Structure 1
Amino acid sequence: MYMIESKGGAISCMLLALLFLGTWPAIMTLTERRGRLPQHTYLDYTITNLLAAVIIAVTLGQIGPSRPNFITQLSQDNWQSVMFAMAGGIVLSLGNLATQYAWAFVGLSVTEVITASTTVVIGTTLNYFLDDRINRAEVLFPGVACFLIAVCFGSAVHKSNAADNKSKLQGFKRLKNDSQQTTSSFQIETGPADSGLAKGKAKEGTAAYLIELEKQRAIKVFGKSTIIGLAITFFAGICFSLFSPAFNLATNDQWHTLKHGVPKLNVYTAFFYFSISAFVLALILNIRFLYWPILGLPKSSFRAYLNDWNGRGWSFLAGFLCGFGNGLQFMGGQAAGYAAADAVQALPLVSTFWGILLFGEYRRSSRRTYVLLISMLFMFIVAVAVLMASSGHRK
């Protein structure tokens, strides 16, 4: 099997994982905003997510002089470590499933900030002690503190942006009522800059744009409490904070559960079992959600899913990006410590870029929202740099 030997190689894996893991949520959000049911999207995503793990296992897990390789370990008596790997896959699958709904309620950028920060605060602390403190605590924990500050900024951004949107919609409603006294609202040539009522496609960030988006998207959010979105988001963050420590236990056996003489699971075998359990759980839950949907989504069926090719290619791409991103994160973590590998939880830097570029998030928002958004991103930049600087080297 192929092993990352250098600190530079480990950091390269983390940076590439950061790009992949920050991009796939934007793709999933894109399909939902275009009206594709999240159950359909997630079923496609989970297929290629598993396929990515299989590709990594049968290639990198088989090449190189290091032993034991992937195929050899499938027949070894290592079920205790396999259980840890599969537990990690289960909580990751739950977290990913929850965030798919949270993106609609809270927005891509803030959802990723809160989940990533929760992951770092809880998960990185657990990994630090599991890794026998190979990361420098005097560097690591200030980075964790930066993430904790960022989650506070993220919550404030969400609250401020929600207030901005509410104000836009109220202004739009007043303007529409006034216009109906003299002419049809569909004949209005001009209006206030933030109303979006000018002829043509609604401008991003305007009230008209928000209304058009609500009509088109799969998950309807108007009239729903923001508490629902935040609750889903924090639940996802707690799930994410547990999957990396579980994977750490699977590959390093800190609790000495394996029998004497049985080799520890290599990162590729652990990732294979990890992805198998994530796939099975996602399959069960999403097939159930087809027939008994949540959050007011329309019912579907397995036949309807098979016939839904609108956005399927994007969903497959999201699964590949997430699968390869997780694999790279674990490869880097095995070499430099899983606490440092949690630096990929700075993926909101990438997701926010896509959110602003593709979806116009925070367009025409208040100055207060922009100040909070910049503060949040600044803390993330500091946090990822500090976490990577804490990298150690596993003996």
Structure 2
Amino acid sequence: MYIVESKGGAIVCMLLALLFLGTWPALITLLERRGRLPQHTYLDYTITNLLAAVIIALTFGQIGDSTVERPNFFTQLSQDNWSSVLFAMAGGVVLSLGNLSTQYAWAFVGLSVVEVISSSMTVVIGTTLNYFLDGKINKAEILFPGVGCFLVAVCLASAVHSSNAADYKAKLSSWPIDNETGKGTVLSSASEEAVLKDRENGGGPIRKAKAGTATFLIELEKRRSIKVFGKSMFIGLTLTFFAGVCFSLFSPAFN
């Protein structure tokens, strides 16, 4: 089994993890905004996740000779370590619940706010739990001031969401929209639309609403799979905080 033992290799793995963790939420959010149902997207995500785990287990998990200290993947399958298996399964359950919750939270709250709150909660709760699980081997005077900064980030992100909700409400107040269906009359104006070329179909120029305008918000609501007009802002925040709690329990369960 291949294990990263150098600090340089660990740093490279961390950078790759940050790249991938910052990419997949944007891609899934883009799919939802284009009308793909979240359950279909999550099904694709889980199948790909399973395939990736199997491939990694059969490749990196089988590199080198199997020893007592470093058993290979197939060797570990026959070991009597059900306690570790159950903890790993519990970590997978809370991780899946967190991922599923964020799919809906992104639609209600927005990608930037959800990621800040959920990631900060993961650091605050997860780091605190891991600190005690690791026998307090880390220096608390260095560790917890950083945790406090993430706690401040949670509060600031919640305030940003409240500000965004008020801004959207002000922009949409002058538009005839049915809050239940999200349907309304969209009026085009040169000041709120930018003329772009339809690169996908190769046709002539088309008009797309400028990002952040009322026209853009209405067109997005009509196209997306999760309708958010007329919904309470607390729905998105509740989903976000629930996802943060789930993510924070994932690391201690594996630890």
TM-score, normalization by structure 1 = 0.57
* Cα shift readout 1:355-382 (whole Å, capped 9, x = no counterpart): xxxxxxxxxxxxxxxxxxxxxxxxxxxx
Equivalent-residue separation in structure 2 for 1:197 and 1:82 (angstroms) = 55
Equivalent-residue separation in structure 1 for 2:193 and 2:136 (angstroms) = 58
Partner AA of 1:233 in structure 2: T
Partner AA of 1:19 in structure 2: L
Query: What is the SS of the residue equivalent to 2:63?
Result: coil
2:180 match = none
Find out whether 1:227 has 2:230 as its counterpart: no
Change beyond 3 A, Cα 1:173–1:61? same
Query: What is the SS of the residue equivalent to 1:201?
Result: strand
Equivalent-residue separation in structure 2 for 1:80 and 1:161 (angstroms) = 45
Equivalent-residue separation in structure 2 for 1:149 and 1:84 (angstroms) = 31
Contact 2:186–2:215, Cα closer than 8 Å, also in 1: no
* Cα shift readout 1:197-216 (whole Å, capped 9, x = no counterpart): 67821101100000000000
How many pairs align? 234
* Cα shift readout 1:207-262 (whole Å, capped 9, x = no counterpart): 000000000000000000001111111111111110110001xxxxxxxxxxxxxx
Partner AA of 1:3 in structure 2: I
Unaligned runs of 5+ in 1: 175-183, 249-395
Give the C-alpha shift of residue 135 in structure 1. Answer: 3.0
**What pairs with 1:308-327 in structure 2 (closer than 5 Å)?**
none
Change beyond 3 A, Cα 1:25–1:185? closer
Contact 2:32–2:225, Cα closer than 8 Å, also in 1: yes
Query: What is the SS of the residue equivalent to 2:208?
Result: coil
Equivalent-residue separation in structure 2 for 1:9 and 1:185 (angstroms) = 53
Contact 1:88–1:247, Cα closer than 8 Å, also in 2: yes
1:210 match = 217
User: Match for 1:113 among 116, 131, 138?
Assistant: 116
Query: What is the SS of the residue equivalent to 2:61?
Result: coil
**Regions of 4+ moved over 6 Å:** none
**What pairs with 1:182-331 in structure 2 (closer than 5 Å)?**
186=187, 189-190=189-190, 193=191, 196=192, 200-248=207-255
Contact 1:88–1:246, Cα closer than 8 Å, also in 2: yes
**What pairs with 1:1-395 in structure 2 (closer than 5 Å)?**
1-65=1-65, 67-172=70-175, 186=187, 189-190=189-190, 193=191, 196=192, 200-248=207-255
Partner AA of 1:232 in structure 2: L
Equivalent-residue separation in structure 2 for 1:62 and 1:29 (angstroms) = 35
Give the C-alpha shift of residue 162 in structure 1. Answer: 1.1
Give the C-alpha shift of residue 154 in structure 1. Answer: 0.5
Equivalent-residue separation in structure 2 for 1:7 and 1:52 (angstroms) = 25
CA RMSD of aligned residues (A): 1.9
Partner AA of 1:51 in structure 2: L
* Cα shift readout 1:314-368 (whole Å, capped 9, x = no counterpart): xxxxxxxxxxxxxxxxxxxxxxxxxxxxxxxxxxxxxxxxxxxxxxxxxxxxxxx
Change beyond 3 A, Cα 1:189–1:90? closer
Give the C-alpha shift of residue 62 in structure 1. Answer: 1.2
TM-score, normalization by structure 2 = 0.86
Query: What is the SS of the residue equivalent to 2:3?
Result: coil
* Cα shift readout 1:38-84 (whole Å, capped 9, x = no counterpart): 01111111000111111111111111356211110100111111000
Equivalent-residue separation in structure 2 for 1:220 and 1:185 (angstroms) = 17
1:357 match = none
Structure that is richer in helix per residue: 1
Query: What is the SS of the residue equivalent to 1:122?
Result: helix
Change beyond 3 A, Cα 1:70–1:225? same
